[in-house]
Each structure stands twice: as C-alpha cells, then as structure tokens.
Amino acid sequence: MCSRFEVNAKPRDLARRFGFEDLPLDFTEGEVRPTNDVLTVAMAGAEVLKWGLQVDWDTKPLINARAETLAEKPTFQPLLESRCLIPASAYFEWRRDGKARFKNRISLADNELFAFAGLTDGTRFTIVTSSPHPSVADIHNRMPVILAANTEAAWLDNALPFAEVCGFLNRADLNLEAEEDVPPPPRQPDLFG
C-alpha cells in the first residue's frame, strides 16, 4: 500500500517531462502524504487535487485502489474513465522485521521522473496499486502502479474504455532501486540511573 511518495524535481523538469505550459504553484513538493494537495495530470493538463477519495463507508480517505478489482468495485466503477497521472520521483514503503519497521525509498534505477496510475472524481484522486515487482516484493506485498511513459497518453485518454487500458497496470519491465533507512543504534542504558 502506498501511503507516501516523493516529488523531488524542479518545476521546469516536471513541465518538460509531462508536457505542461504552466504548472500550478500550490502543490506539495518533497515527501507527499495523504490529504496533501498534489500535482496531477489529466486530459486538460496539470491540476492540483487532494490525495484520497471521500467515501460514505469510511471516515479515512481512500488513498489506494487495487488494480485487480477496480472494475468490480462500486466505488471505482464510475471513475474508470476518469483517469489521471500522479508525477513522482520515488515512493516509500516500510519493511517489517518482527516489530521493527524500516523505511525504504523506491525509485526507478535511473532516478527519472515517472507517473503512477490514478483515478479521480475531479477534486480528489486515488493511486492504483498492484502486486509488487519481484525486485521489491521482500519489502511489501503491494506497490503503486508505475506506468510506462509510452502508455501515459492512452491512460489519460478517457475516450478509451477501461478495458483497453487496464493491461497497462501490469508491468514486468520495471528497473526499481530501493534504499533502506539505517535505523539508529539502540540506546545504551543509563549506567548511573
């Protein structure tokens, strides 16, 4: 499950990569968390949307949607032709080892910008997730869908039915790199306490 990601790029690099003339100015840069104002890409161009759909059946925003069940779930069926891209430079996932959790920054090996597949209701969005690529499967059992650059325009083309673009949600050709935070050393007990 993706609950944080990173947008670490200069505005001109974002504009060049995703074909914008002008970027909206008020969006979260650096580490992005649910409910932040996030730069997204839709057919009309760059938009700033809140991360997390509001749903009647949960008080928490719905930040992720499973690719495998999108077409079956009543929450997502109306959004299947309201697709968007979420520009990113990395995402974060926590690996568990017993009670310990270790934060991993996962990016493309070439550190290029990429786009997650998303669905939007026009004011908010959710990130589509899938089973993990084998290179990061030991970290978590889900990951955000990273679209191939040559499929992004088709994903955005809401005139194309979901059935024609859902194949983009499974990629075997990713070259991912994970960097794990080094936990601080355990504290030495107070010898004089």
Q: How does strand 45-51 pair with strand 124-130?
A: parallel
Token pair recorded at residue 90: 């990395």
Other CB atoms within 10 A of residue 172 CB: 6
Can you name the CATH fold of 5-90+109-134+141-174?
hypothetical protein yedk fold (3.90.1680)
Does the structure show a pLDDT above 60 at 49?
yes
Of the candidates 93, 152, 177, 180, the residue annotated as catalytic is 93
Gyration radius of the chain's alpha carbons = 18
What's the whole-number mean pLDDT along residues 155-168? 95
Does the structure show a pLDDT above 90 at 84?
yes
93 an active-site residue? yes
Determine the pLDDT at residue 1.
Answer: 59
pTM of the predicted structure, to 2 decimals: 0.90
Q: Which residue has the tokens 């968390």?
A: 33
47 an active-site residue? no
